[in-house]
A and B are shown apart, each in its own frame.
Chain A
Amino acid sequence: MPAGGHIGHSPPPFFKRGPAPLAQLMLFVSLALLLLVADLRYRTLESTRLMIATLMWPVQKAVLLPVEGASDAGSYFANLTSLQQENAELRKRQLAQANLLLRQAHLDNENLRLRALLEMQEKLDVPARAADVLYAARDPFSRRIIVDRGSSHEVEVGQAVIDDLGVIGQVTRVFPLTSEVTLLTDKNQAIPVQVGRNGLRAVLAGAGSGTMELKFLPANADVQPGDTLVTSGLDGIYLPGLPVARVTSIDRDNSFSFARIECVPLAGVERHGQVLVLGTRKILPMPEEAEEAVKKPVMGRKARAAALKPH
């Protein structure tokens, strides 16, 4: 050993074990808690997340291949009768909707003319983008899916996602090539709705295990089992009138101030397939903001006039 003369000054290298386990534990636990607080309270880690997720995308894609292959093989061997059944079903549905679809253009035009006649604001149309559901996020505590359209396809956080039957959720995180959609059945997801039958407005929130709950309605509210709930559009995110859920059961217990109203989603929220990401809806300005917007150009003109005035 070359450092033989120094024995006793420093421990031999084979006893080097780093800091004590308890010290390490304290360090890493406090780091993890710091991360938890930073993420939950201040939402400061989204860029870090974006970076790591982008780096991991090739691996994620590679892992997806066998799953996709298995499902492709499964659908290849799906028997003829089930395909024929599905085909017949789709034909029937298309025929049922043909009446509405054929008259849609006519009704749109008529609506436009009537609105112009009544000097109402034009209803804005939003662009939509079809996306494939890649997989359901593995996190068992939340209900999220990953779709194959991301910020490079102009998907933005907050956009509504629908399928052929109704609303399924909202985009909550956007990565370059994918984005994460939080489903309506997630406990932290709420959507403003109205009862289709009478226009009663309420908030619908996820209640766990695939159901939803209509919140904060008094025990005597006019809601019946079987009522269809549609988006009210008050939030400025969802277009008004999209079907969301159906009321299944109502518990009007007078000892609570609110009725307990359970609903099930109409759209295939927990099923997978194609979805439509609706573009960002242009939010109409609030009344006071609108007034300011009207005032501003006037002031601008005044200022310009003042500036042009010869001294």
Chain B
Amino acid sequence: MIQPTHSSRRILLPVSGWFIHFTLVSALVLNLIPFGRLPGIPDWVALVLAFWCIHQPLKVGMGTAFFFGLVMDVANAAIMGQHALAYVLLAFAAGGLSRRVLWFPLVQQALHVLPLLLGTQLVMLLIRMATGAEFPGILYFLSSFVAILIWHPVSLVLLLPQYRPVERDENRPI
């Protein structure tokens, strides 16, 4: 794995499983912060899930998506299965796109991720509208746009542990 691949121009170390789960749980905690009805707060779990499904389609897939979807359903007091269904579809689409997306630079990657996140929101919207909830307004979709704006920094942060050199160098921590 110590050679540049299409997933990065830098040589990446293999990813550690616990770091993936740590980032997903951190995203969940970020999602739990109560912002009330403020629009434009990104769905961190969907974002991090999409990232790992694209970068590590063999390690993170629909099972992980389903589990975190269930936890989100409870945390959000939503209907059980709403987030689970949306995240599973997101993971499937992201996994399918992973070979294509990583050839592009980060900005164009973000444009690939936008329809995935919008689709996730649309699935949730359809489920809730079918059960008679009110339409939350067009600003509801703002959170996906905010999410792709931060795709660049989020990608760098999530790849940080893989950027470490194999040999430790005291003058270069990362």
List residues of A whose CB falls within 8 A of some B CB. Answer: 17-18, 21, 24-25, 28-29, 31-36, 38-40, 45, 48-49, 52-53, 56, 59-60, 62-64, 66-67, 134-142, 144, 146, 173, 180, 186-188, 206, 208-209
Least Cβ–Cβ distance between B9 and chain A, in angstroms: 25
Q: Is B88 a contact partner of A173 (Cβ separation < 8 A)? A: no
Residues of A within 8 A of B63 (CB): 24, 28
- Docked-complex contact A173 and B77, CB < 8 angstroms: yes
User: Which residues from chain B sit less than 8 Å from chain A, CB to CB?
Assistant: 29, 31-37, 39, 58, 61-63, 65-66, 69-71, 74-82, 84-85, 88-89, 92, 95-96, 124-125, 127-128, 131-137, 140
In the assembled complex, the CB of A87 is this many whole angstroms from the nearest CB of chain B, namely 27
A135-B36 CB under 8 A given contacts A32-B69, A33-B81 = yes
Nearest chain A CB to B42's CB is how many angstroms away? 12
Distance in angstroms between the alpha carbons of A294 and B78 in the assembled complex: 45
Chain B minimum-CB-distance residue to A53: B74
How many residue pairs bridge A and B at CB < 8 Å?
A: 127
Cβ–Cβ < 8 Å partners of B131 in chain A: 40
Beta-carbon contact of B132 and A188 below 8 Å: yes
Residue of B nearest to A208 (CB): B134
- Known contacts being A25-B92, A63-B33, A140-B140, is A32 close to B74, with CB within 8 Å? no
Q: Once the chains bind, are A209 and B134 in contact (CB under 8 Å)?
A: yes
Complex contacts, B135 vs chain A, CB 8 Å: 208
Whether A35 touches B81, Cβ cut-off 8 Å, given contacts A28-B66, A63-B33, A136-B37, is: yes
Q: Which of A32, A53, A135, A206 contacts B84 (CB 8 A)?
A: A32
Report Cα–Cα, A146/B123, bound state, in Å.
Answer: 26
- Is the Cβ of B85 less than 8 Å from the Cβ of A36? yes
Ranked nearest first, the 6 interchain pairs of A and B with the lowest CB-CB distance are A135-B34, A35-B81, A208-B134, A32-B85, A36-B81, A136-B36
Bound CA–CA A79/B137 (angstroms): 35
> Which of A21, A48, A49, A66 touches B95 (beta carbons < 8 Å)?
A21
- A62 and B28 alpha carbons, distance in the complex (Å): 13
Q: Taking each of A32, A36, A136, A142, which has the highest tally of chain B beta carbons within 10 Å of its own beta carbon?
A: A32
The smallest C-beta distance from A130 to any residue of chain B, in angstroms, reads 21
CB nearest to B78 among chain A residues:
A139
For B83, the closest partner residue in chain A by CB is A32
The reply to whether A56 and B75 form a contact with Cβ atoms under 8 Å apart is yes
Q: A136–B88 Cα gap in the complex (Å)?
A: 27
B66/A49 in contact, CB under 8 A = no
Instruction: Tell me, rounded to whole Å, the shortest Cβ–Cβ distance linking B101 to chain A.
Output: 16
Residue pairs across A and B with Cβ atoms less than 8 A apart, 22 shown, are A21-B61, A21-B95, A24-B62, A29-B88, A29-B89, A31-B66, A32-B85, A35-B81, A36-B85, A39-B80, A39-B81, A52-B70, A56-B32, A63-B29, A63-B32, A134-B34, A140-B140, A141-B125, A142-B77, A142-B133, A180-B77, A188-B133
B84 and A140 contact, CB distance less than 8 A: no
Chain B neighbourhood of A52, CB < 8 A: 70-71, 74
Give the chain B neighbours of A56 by CB distance below 8 A. Answer: 32, 71, 74-75
The residue on B at minimum CB distance from A16 is: B58
- Smallest Cβ distance from B38 to chain A, in angstroms? 9
Docked complex Cα distance between A187 and B132 (Å)? 8
What is the CA–CA distance of A134 and B133 in the complex, to the nearest angstrom? 23
Q: How many angstroms between the C-alpha atoms of A39 and B85 in the bound complex?
A: 14
Which residues of B lie under 8 Å from residue A28 when comparing CB positions?
Answer: 62-63, 65-66, 84, 88
Chain A, Cβ-Cβ closest to B80: A39
